[in-house]
Amino acid sequence: MTTRRQFLGATALTLGAAATRVRAATARLDLAATDVHVRGYPTVEALRWIGEQLEKETDGRLGVRLYHSGQLGRESDLIDLARFGAIDIARVNMAALNNPFPATRVLCLPYVFDDTAHMRRALDGAVGQDILGRFADRDLVGLAFYDSGARCVYNTKRPIVTPDDLHGLKIRVPPSDIFMHLIRTLGANPTPLPYGEVYSALQTHLIDGAENNWQSFHTTRQFEAARYWSYSGHSYSPEALLLSRRRFDALRPDDRERLLDIAKRSVAYMRSLWDESERTAREYVLARGVQANAVDRAAFERAAAPVVAHYRKDAEVDRYWRAIRDLSGAA
């Protein structure tokens, strides 16, 4: 029997082979880029923008072929496909990277960032640049970080004000030990599922809730089933834009520099879309009857503290954690 992973690998290789044939005929190279989000989502639009810039700056020699909406599979598989060179660019969330790339763990820890401004400062500074460089350890080039907003819990049953309200609820988490650990510590039952399966899991009551940002809640239409949104803001787990090392090495040196530079510039473009899309998504779901409530933030932070303490036992996590906390409230 063909496993899902083999199938995805074969599909991507076939796509790669077809793209190579086209390239040979036209001398044009389209980088295969993937994202689990739908067209219009800020990360997908940023990839599209990168393609446009590449095309413009290379007189059409280079471009991007975009596979959005999870067309090529789940994020954990996409990371491997990029590592093996079957796809070129993978836009994935840090949560999917925690296990294979431990340097990313600090970015998912509960309440390590106060808000989006704090997260951007840390990612633009030494900590972010250091972590981005660590993707080279396993066949990838870290191109950029993108925003993912504040992750909050939502569910089909009731408003969550303190962690006690989570008791007994089955909450979907992304495939990351940190998220499993956090949700369990807060008192719920964590259920790891790929992003593309959350909507139907809510519909069929396989799970009672999940946690994510406003845009994901909106664009996946999970809000149709989960009618209670609680502002826990427990993680800002940012997005990563990763390039296959094999592809990078195969590019002309000037194209490598060009791509790195365009990816860097795409961050400002992505951020300009982010804030507006967050507001639009929130207004959209609230207008359709979702009930949103504030949580007892101090109670959440207290309950999550053992998770932070556990990961800070690791010297590298602790070093990054301190450096990020030092930027809290800085101008």
Which tokens sit at 91?
Answer: 């836009």
Per CB under 6 A, 97 contacts ligand GTR: no
Per CB under 6 A, 174 contacts ligand GTR: yes
- Per DSSP, the residues of 74-97 read -HHHHHHHHHHTSSSEEEEEHHHH
Only segment of 62-70, 91-99, 113-121, 224-232 that touches ligand GTR (CB under 6 A)? 91-99
CA distance 4 to 137: 26
Whether the CB-CB separation of 101 and 44 falls below 8 Å is answered with no
Per CB under 6 A, 220 contacts ligand GTR: no
Residues binding ligand GTR: number (CB under 6 A): 13
Per CB under 6 A, 212 contacts ligand GTR: yes
How many whole angstroms from its chain centre is CA 321? 20
CA distance 242 to 263: 10
Taking the complex as a whole, how short is the minimal distance between the CB of residue 190 and ligand GTR, in angstroms? 12
Name which position in 8, 31, 33, 36 contacts ligand GTR (CB under 6 A).
Answer: 36
Burial of 189 (0-12, 13-18, 19+ CB in 10 A): middle
Taking the complex as a whole, how short is the minimal distance between the CB of residue 147 and ligand GTR, in angstroms? 9
Taking the complex as a whole, how short is the minimal distance between the CB of residue 300 and ligand GTR, in angstroms? 19
Residue nearest to ligand GTR (CB): 93
Per CB under 6 A, 182 contacts ligand GTR: no
Whether the CB-CB separation of 2 and 20 falls below 8 Å is answered with no
Per CB under 6 A, 195 contacts ligand GTR: yes
Name which position in 34, 98, 116, 148 contacts ligand GTR (CB under 6 A).
Answer: 148
Whether the CB-CB separation of 242 and 135 falls below 8 Å is answered with yes
- Binding residues for ligand GTR, per CB under 6 A? 36, 75, 92-93, 95-96, 148, 174, 195, 212-213, 216, 239
